[in-house]
Amino acid sequence: MTKVAIIAALAGELEPIVNGWPRESRNGVELWRRRLDSGQWVAACAGMGAGAASRAFAEIERGGPMDLVVSVGWAGALDERFAAGRAYRVSGVIDAATLERFRAATPSGECWLVTSDRVANQAEKRRLASDHGAGLVDMEAAQVARLAAARGVPFWCIKGVSDGLTDRLPDLNGFISASGGFQTARFILFAMLRPWHWPALARMGADSRRAAKGMEASLREVLERTPAMRAGGTGNAEAGE
């Protein structure tokens, strides 16, 4: 029996994937489960950043060991080749703070991703692209990859682009709580009083929804065409470089 763990930061990133799955909340982590003849898929989110990713990972692990760990979620583009609203399969992940590199076993990987400890603005995106040669940036994947590598579990990463390289957005970092949650009510009030941000935010909302659907389609395609995931095997992954 195969157990696939799908870890994201926010429920909106998982919405198309977990549509119709039973949902529960435990220890500040949202969990969804889909049981299959060959095992189960378990999805979890606990917020943005490494700490939240660790909590989501731990909550899934309470139910027993995992055979595959998949990091999914929204990411920013560091290169104009990666379009907002689309999903991409990640070949490997770099931790910007420690410079650790984790190679992913994602089928047909298209780019590398760098994990930062904050939402990257336009200038930060260009710096991260220059320093690390990555195509995407997020806040969680490196920690998920690190935890999977420590357990010898295969790691995949699929990210949907919510904002392109040249998109000019307000600074979102002030709306992330200490636990990694996004303070939606505070942000809505902030945005309501600043109409000059409305077009960019509307575009990001539409792109995020399209990206989430793209992640669902990509994840389902690679899982359902991989015999090990259907029939109970585990496959192999390389972690670290």
Q: Per-residue pLDDT tens for 106-115? A: 999 999 999 9
**3-state secondary structure at position 57:** helix
Q: What is the mean pLDDT of residues 18-22?
A: 95
> What pLDDT sits at residue 224?
77
> What pLDDT sits at residue 127?
96
Q: What is the mean pLDDT of residues 211-226?
A: 89
> What pLDDT sits at residue 226?
62
Interval 44-98: pLDDT, tens: 999 999 999 999 999 999 989 999 999 999 999 999 999 999 999 999 999 999 9
* Residue 91 zone, left/alpha/beta (φ > 0; ψ -120 to 50; rest): alpha
Could you give the C-alpha distances from 54 to 18, 127, 161, in angstroms and in order? 20, 27, 23
Interval 120-158: pLDDT, tens: 999 999 999 999 999 999 999 999 999 999 999 999 999
> What pLDDT sits at residue 227?
54
Instruction: Confirm if 86 and 132 have CB atoms less than 8 A apart.
Output: no
Q: What is the mean pLDDT of residues 186-197?
A: 94
Interval 58-70: pLDDT, tens: 999 998 999 999 9
> What pLDDT sits at residue 232?
39
* CATH tag for 2-231 (out of 3.40.50.1820, 3.40.50.300, 3.30.2000.10, 3.40.50.1580): 3.40.50.1580
- Segments of the chain assigned E as strands: 2-8, 23-26, 29-36, 39-45, 68-77, 87-95, 101-103, 111-115, 136-138, 155-163
> What pLDDT sits at residue 235?
35
Residue 239 confidence class, pLDDT cut points 50, 70, 90: very low
> What pLDDT sits at residue 198?
94
Q: What is the mean pLDDT of residues 187-192?
A: 94
pTM of the predicted protein model? 0.90
Check whether 241 has a pLDDT greater than 80: no
**Nearest to 161, CA basis, from 75, 43, 95:** 75
> What pLDDT sits at residue 223?
82
> What pLDDT sits at residue 64?
92
Interval 151-184: pLDDT, tens: 999 999 999 999 999 999 999 999 999 889 998 9
- CA angle, 234 as apex, 233 and 236 as ends, to 5°? 135
Q: What is the mean pLDDT of residues 185-210?
A: 95
> What pLDDT sits at residue 236?
34
